[in-house]
Amino acid sequence: MYNISGREDMVRLLLTEDKPIVSGLFNFADEIRKKYVGDKIILRGVVEFSNFCGNKCFYCGLNANNDKAKRYKMSSSEIMDSVRYIDSLGIRTVILQSGEDRDMDPLWLARLIKDIKSKYDMAVTLSVGEWAHEDYRIWKSSGADRYLLKIETTNKALYETLHPGMSFENRINCIKDLKSLGYQVGSGNIVGLKGQTLESIADDIMFFKEMDLDMIGIGPFIPHPETGLCSEGHGDAELTLKAIAVTRIFTKRAHIPSVTAFSSIDKDFRKAAFNVGANVFMKNFTPERYYDLYGIYPGREKDSDLIHEITHSTGREIDRSKGDAVYV
């Protein structure tokens, strides 16, 4: 019933509102999660080091057209302070995320990666957008372990409407490039984009499997007032949970975070994701003075105690280790 062999099974499960079927789906995804990636919730530290961005993504509050956004870029020493704090808590992964800042010197980032890797026993994940092969290569050889680059949607026409001036093919090529360089690679989508169908979400999940991703981030769309999608409703949280469950069942081994965007709707959804396939919590360590400026969407929760609430309510333990990719 819950074995998924392809797109049609996925659409059927994403569509159903039948409560026993949905809870059966969630339970099966939870079992698969336990079997392949275990019972612990992997804790990772995120530092959003810059909100400068040259792109004009229709959904994102950091888009270059938003002149209301106050831009910031952390210095290397500010970033190292955050990394030192993450290390002091025993967390062994730092995710360095930013807008796509064309003025960023790739060699500056390379030096920063080397500095982190020489001082700490920590995995470094980058999430800084589309760059040239040579940049990806230099960062890898400087010690970066992982890279997150969400495809956002696999519907080419929708992708290109939402990302003016960007190319769908280039995004896919970047993901392939990162894989070929030996990064552990994460991608993912946004659920509830205007113009997105259930078939298209199923195609996204087919794509995750085809790319054999190590990490998959799936989150609901959250409207931001300074974007073209300001008057749209947010994505359906229940549908997003179903997409996570189907992804867990279909891809089995991927690390799947329960993303902050859930909390912008209701933090119970962020908790619920851990019962339907998710196994990673990305905790924010961006310094207080910058946190609100990283306004990709509004209502980003300050998650200070949430991980403890979650481990308490799920009875699962925290895993602070590097939490490398799991291969089956």
- Interface with ligand SAH: number of residues (CB under 6 A): 18
Distances (CA, A) of 303 to 45, 78, 279, 281, 291: 12, 21, 16, 10, 11
207 class by beta-carbon count within 10 Å (0-12 exposed, 13-18 middle, 19+ buried): middle
CA distance 73 to 49: 6
The CB-of-234 to ligand SAH minimum distance in angstroms stands at 8
Pick the closer one to ligand SAH by CB: 25 or 296.
296
CA distance 166 to 186: 20
The CB-of-130 to ligand SAH minimum distance in angstroms stands at 7
Q: For residue 227, what is the DSSP state?
A: S
CA distance 81 to 94: 12
23's enclosing H/E stretch is helix 19-37
DSSP characters for 245-263? Answer: HHHHHHH-S-B-B--THHH
The CB-of-127 to ligand SAH minimum distance in angstroms stands at 5
Binding mask 15-54 for ligand SAH (x = CB under 6 A): ----------------------------------------
Neighbours of 92 (CB within 10 A): 21
CB 11 within 8 A of CB 249: no
Instruction: Out of 43, 95, 99, 242, name the contact with ligand SAH by CB under 6 A.
Output: 99
Pick the closer one to ligand SAH by CB: 49 or 297.
297
Identify residues 230-289 at the interface with ligand SAH (CB under 6 A): 261
160's enclosing H/E stretch is helix 156-162
Residue type, position 125, single letter: T
**Distance from chain centroid for Cα 259:** 7
Instruction: Out of 26, 28, 49, 59, name the contact with ligand SAH by CB under 6 A.
Output: 59
The CB-of-106 to ligand SAH minimum distance in angstroms stands at 15
Q: Is 185 in the site for ligand SAH (CB under 6 A)?
A: no
Instruction: Out of 33, 92, 140, 150, name the contact with ligand SAH by CB under 6 A.
Output: 150
| Segment lying near ligand SAH (by CB under 6 A), choices 27-35, 95-103, 161-169, 204-212 | 95-103
CA distance 106 to 136: 9
Pick the closer one to ligand SAH by CB: 32 or 162.
162
| Segment lying near ligand SAH (by CB under 6 A), choices 23-31, 111-119, 208-216, 221-229 | 221-229
Residues that bind ligand SAH (CB under 6 A): 59-60, 97, 99-100, 127, 129, 149-150, 152, 190, 219, 221-222, 224, 261, 296-297
